[in-house]
Structure 1
Amino acid sequence: MKAKLEKLKEKIMPHGRAMILAYDQGLEHGPRDFGANPESRRLEYILDIAKRGGFTGIVLHAGLAEKYESEIHDSGVPLILKLNGRSELYTGEDPYSPQLYSVAEALALGTTAVGYTVYSGSKYEAQMNREFSQIIRQAHVEGIPVIGWMYPRGSSLFDTKSASKTLKMALEEQERTGLAIDETPSIVAYGARVGLELGADIVKVKYTGSKESFRWVVESAFPTKVVMSGGPMTKTDEEFLARVKDVLTAGAVGIAVGRNIWQRKDPLTISEKIHDIIFGS
């Protein structure tokens, strides 16, 4: 299965680069994310962007993947099935994103890779680590690549009274840079390292504000590959394109982005610019 694993990695990372379109936000954030561009509520619209924009994969939950199985196949864009998820309606300090689908179910839908979110720092992190580890083992037996959404989050990241050494470092970084605590290099790098230690092939992480600090994230995850999460839409195209350039300079293999593409009025134009940055014009 190792040969199959490497072949499918090449499918979502041709020439060692990845440009993934994320569309798992409907479960995570609800319909509000589609308000900026109402067309984005339709998967047909998203698939058209993915195909014409040159994306190397599209992230979906099983409901959409099942209902649009033939359209996804016809698009030629590799499917990356997200195996866990949660809504934003629960507002507790310690999030938990439970496993919703199995590797076997993902295979039945024709997936090229699978993904899973881990909230390191949540009181439920042990359960998520265990679920993710099992998914990785099962997927690798089948020759399927695994992407970890590594997002440290939870009450421990704000517990300054009994702060870990990493949190103390992150608080100092926050003081210097003004970054949110879950965007500081120490926290993001820790999440990336957890992904490596558990066995992920690729980790999806937040931008840390500069190419210099992001290099530490990439080094912490090596040899696991790193892609940057898009996050909320930036004010300008130029701001987001600068981030893409930064993370590639730092050694990332690409991006896994949703809102910064399909919330924009002209998603294909920015997709083409990103494609040129990642793969060369």
Structure 2
Amino acid sequence: MKELRLRRLRHPETGRVVICPMDHGVTLGPIKGLTDLELAVERVKRHVDAIVVHKGQIPVVSRQLGDHPEVAVLVHLNASVQGASSHPAKVLVAEVEEAAGLGADGVSVQLNLGCEGDADMLATVGRVTREARLLGLPVLAMTYPQPPGMSGEATDDIVHVARAAAELGADLVKVSMPLVPEEVERIVAGAGVPVVVSGGPYNDDRQAVLDGVRLAMEAGASGVALGRNVFQDADPQRSAKELYAAVHGQSRVRSFEDLDAYPIPDLPRNPF
């Protein structure tokens, strides 16, 4: 059953995936671009393969995706609040069975290693993957090395956390986007499961973001998981289109106008 749901995440021609996380509300509150979640989904839904939200936002997402059933929905299962003394330790706020009952196509869970509470987060990932396997749901692990024990900039630490999530049963892992092709290749090779790269905080240099995405795709990444660099852009719809083109190739963009500003060659299939 899980393979059937994984098939929804993958583009049928490229084997890659464009994920737009929109689960920031618990950690950061109603940040720019997500104050009206329904509007945010409406703006990007034509140009993403999947979105990530917390369980309470499923009704909002369902209203917007009624005419776009091809977009998969992942429910994020753990959370923390930035500014709280326990952050960045994540705690479970939803169950896999809950997500399945809501009709989700999969679940996501964050794994931070190197910080206080990381042992509990390891246990959480193990529990989530076990329950998801029994219910046939794919698991995306959002992986981040954290101080004081690890460095978010060190490739060795990035690939270590990604590999830990894979060893515990994650089907794909999200990592911070390295800027050097050889580092992406090391992470892809070391993780052992498909790797998607994240964008982090909003960068107003859209071209730099797209260049980084193209680099990651050419180095073997299986897709992206970019949220703020899409929905916080001055033109979220165009940002989503250009991101989709950078991952899948311009000829596959579902759009009403050409993306002539960023000619992007088709890239070879990278299945997962």
Normalised by the shorter chain, which TM-score bucket?
0.7 to 0.9
Q: How far 1:68 sits from its partner (Å)? A: 4.6
Which of 77, 81, 85 is the matching residue for 1:87?
A: 81
The aligned counterpart of 2:3 is 6
Q: What is the deviation of 1:113?
A: 0.7
Mapped to 2, the partners of 1:105 and 1:227 lie a distance apart of 25
Q: Structure 2 CA distance, aligned partners of 1:276 and 1:25?
A: 25
SS in 2 for 1:208: coil
Residue 149 of structure 1 aligns with which residue? 142
Q: Deviations over 1:50-75 (max 9, x none)?
A: 3222x111100011114554444444
* Alignment match, 2:42: 48
Deviation at 1:18, TM superposition (A): 0.6
- 3-state SS of paired residue (2:107): strand
> CA shift at 1:91, angstroms?
4.3
Distance 2:126 2:139 in 1: 10
Corresponding residue for residue 109 of structure 2? 116
Q: CA deviation at 1:241?
A: 0.2
Deviation, structure 1 residue 154: 3.7
**Cross-structure match for 1:270:** 239
* Equivalent position amino acid for 1:41 in 2: T
The structure in which a higher percent of residues are helix is 1
Identity %: 29
The superposition leaves residues 52-104 of structure 1 with CA deviations (integer Å, 9 ceiling, x where unpaired) of 22x11110001111455444444422110000011102145x63100111111
- Is contact 1:227-1:252 (8 Å) kept? yes
Which of 180, 203, 208 is equivalent to 2:173?
A: 203
Q: For the structure 1 residues 209 and 68, does the alpha-carbon distance in structure 2 shift closer, same or farther, using more than 3 Å as the test?
A: closer
Alignment of 1:251 onto 2:251 = no
- 1:242 paired with 2:235, answer no
What's 1:190 paired with? Answer: 160
Consecutive aligned runs of 4 or more in structure 1 exceeding 6 Å deviation: none
**Distance (whole Å) between structure 2 residues aligned to residue 13 and residue 50 of structure 1:** 17
1:26 alignment partner AA = G
Q: In 2 relative to 1, CA 50–27 (structure 1 residues): closer, same or farther, beyond 3 Å? A: same
| Change in 2 beyond 3 A, CA 1:70/1:262 | closer
User: How many Å separate the matches in 2 of 1:127 and 1:87?
Assistant: 17
Q: TM-score, length-normalised on structure 1?
A: 0.83
Per-residue deviation, residues 176-225 of structure 1 (Å, max 9, x unmatched): xxxxx302211111111111111100101101221121111111112x11
Distance between the aligned counterparts of 1:182 and 1:235, measured in 2? 22
Corresponding residue of 1:27: 26
SS of the residue aligned with 1:156? coil
* Alpha-carbon distance in 2 for matches of 1:73, 1:80: 16
2:267 corresponds to: none
Q: How many Å separate the matches in 1 of 2:58 and 2:223?
A: 24
Q: Distance in 2 between matches of 1:137 and 1:233?
A: 34
- 1:125: which partner in 2? 118
CA RMSD of aligned residues (A): 1.6
Please state if 1:221 is matched with 2:215: no
| Aligned counterpart, 1:171 | none
Q: Secondary structure at the match of 2:115?
A: coil
Unaligned 5+ segments in structure 2 are 251-272
Q: Is the alpha carbon distance of 1:68 and 1:227 closer, same or farther for their aligned partners in structure 2, counting shifts above 3 Å?
A: closer
Q: Are the aligned partners of 1:95 and 1:154 in contact in 2 as well (CA < 8 Å)?
A: no
Q: Within 2, Cα distance between the matches of 1:73 and 1:120?
A: 38
How many Å separate the matches in 2 of 1:75 and 1:212?
A: 37
Residues 97 and 135, structure 2, Cα contact 8 Å, conserved in 1 = no
Residue identity opposite 1:28 in structure 2 = T
Q: CA deviation at 1:29?
A: 1.4
What is the Cα deviation at residue 125 of structure 1? 1.5
Q: Deviations over 1:153-193 (max 9, x none)?
A: 14323xxxxxxxxxxxxxxxxxxxxxxx3022111111111
**CA–CA separation in structure 1 for the residues paired with 2:240 and 2:49:** 12
